[in-house]
């Protein structure tokens, strides 16, 4: 499949069908329909075959490069990778793709994930082919390409226990444009300081507050991340 398709289409993934993260590094993309065709021959067709489509399957295949800088991977790729070797709901993810030229060619659905890595010959870069096996209906959606995405938090380092004055790395997507001073909050209190590393990482210093489960929010010019980004902090 020519790289033109990889440039033409955008692919996004989501764990809740609401907050979408771009799948980056794509080098190849294909989204065929897999119909089930059954014969419907009758003598009225004058000896010619006739068919009906009785079922239809879907399942885009995406190939992407997976470069690593330190221990940081692309947030969208990590959401997909988390479905690997899982069962039930944990083995599924929402996926949507759309024409970046703005046409009505845009679809969304829930899919099982098949993850196949391969080597590239380039240090610290692997190639991964992901097959999304459609699980249920596929829905044609309004093309979301022009819509700017809300920030999404996917993880923290350290994963738990950071206390006042400690620097914490916040990982996710769509962090570009984070609001100055008030753009990162811990339990409603502004981070002491923070630094936008890139669109997928912010380093922030934990402000004063009580130990326990708190909500961490990142706010950009588009809006705030969802209020389910919980973190267990130290004193």
Can you give the CATH number for the domain in which 183 is found?
2.60.40.10
Verify that 31 and 89 share a domain, yes or no: yes
* Total domains present in the chain: 2
Q: Which of 231, 124, 126 is nearest to 168 (CA)?
A: 231
Verify that 8 and 120 share a domain, yes or no: yes
Confidence of residue 188 (pLDDT cuts 50, 70, 90): very high
Final residue belonging to a domain, choices 109, 140, 171: 140
Verify that 162 and 86 share a domain, yes or no: no
Q: With respect to residue 147, please indicate whether it lies within any of the assigned structural domains.
A: no
Verify that 23 and 98 share a domain, yes or no: yes
Classify burial at 79, counting beta carbons within 10 Å of its beta carbon; exposed 0-12, middle 13-18, buried 19 or more.
Answer: buried
3-state secondary structure of 77: helix
pTM: 0.69
Final residue belonging to a domain, choices 140, 175, 199: 140
Verify that 160 and 222 share a domain, yes or no: yes
> Residue 93 belongs to what H/E stretch?
strand 92-99
3-state secondary structure of 75: helix
Q: Which of 120, 113, 104, 46 is nearest to 76 (CA)?
A: 113
Distance CA 234, CA 229 (A): 16
Q: With respect to residue 145, please indicate whether it lies within any of the assigned structural domains.
A: no
Verify that 83 and 191 share a domain, yes or no: no
Tell me the two tokens of residue 119: 């080597």
Distance CA 233, CA 219 (A): 20
Each residue's pLDDT tens digit, 52-110? 999 999 999 999 998 876 667 888 999 999 999 999 999 999 999 999 888 899 999 99
DSSP state of 226: P
Verify that 136 and 158 share a domain, yes or no: no
Q: Which of 66, 76, 107, 113 is nearest to 93 (CA)?
A: 113
Q: Identify the pLDDT of residue 1.
A: 44
Mean pLDDT computed over 197-207: 93
Final residue belonging to a domain, choices 93, 118, 140: 140
Each residue's pLDDT tens digit, 125-146? 889 999 999 999 999 999 988 6
Verify that 178 and 99 share a domain, yes or no: no
| Domain coverage including residue 222 | 152-233
């Amino acid at each position: 499949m020519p790289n033109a398709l990889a440039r033409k289409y955008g692919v996004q993934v989501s764990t809740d069908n609401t907050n979408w993260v771009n799948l980056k590094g794509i080098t190849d993309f294909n989204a065929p329909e897999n119909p089930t065709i059954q014969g419907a021959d009758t003598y009225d067709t004058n000896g010619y075959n006739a068919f009906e489509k009785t079922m239809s399957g879907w399942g885009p295949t995406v190939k992407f490069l997976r470069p690593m800088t330190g221990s940081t991977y692309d947030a969208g790729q990590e959401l997909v990778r988390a479905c690997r070797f899982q069962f039930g709901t944990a083995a599924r993810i929402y996926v949507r793709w759309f024409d970046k030229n703005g046409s009505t060619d845009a679809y969304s659905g829930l899919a099982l994930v098949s993850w196949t890595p391969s080597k590239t010959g380039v240090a610290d870069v692997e190639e991964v082919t992901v097959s999304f096996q459609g699980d249920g209906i596929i829905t044609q959606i309004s093309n979301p390409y022009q819509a700017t995405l809300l920030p999404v938090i996917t993880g923290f380092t350290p994963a738990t226990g950071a206390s006042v004055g400690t620097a914490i790395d916040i990982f996710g997507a769509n962090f570009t444009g984070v609001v100055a001073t008030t753009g990162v909050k811990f339990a409603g209190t502004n981070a002491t300081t923070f630094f936008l590393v890139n669109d997928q990482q912010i380093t922030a210093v934990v402000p004063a507050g009580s130990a326990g489960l708190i909500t961490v929010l990142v706010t950009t010019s588009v809006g705030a991340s969802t209020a389910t980004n919980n973190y267990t902090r130290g004193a």
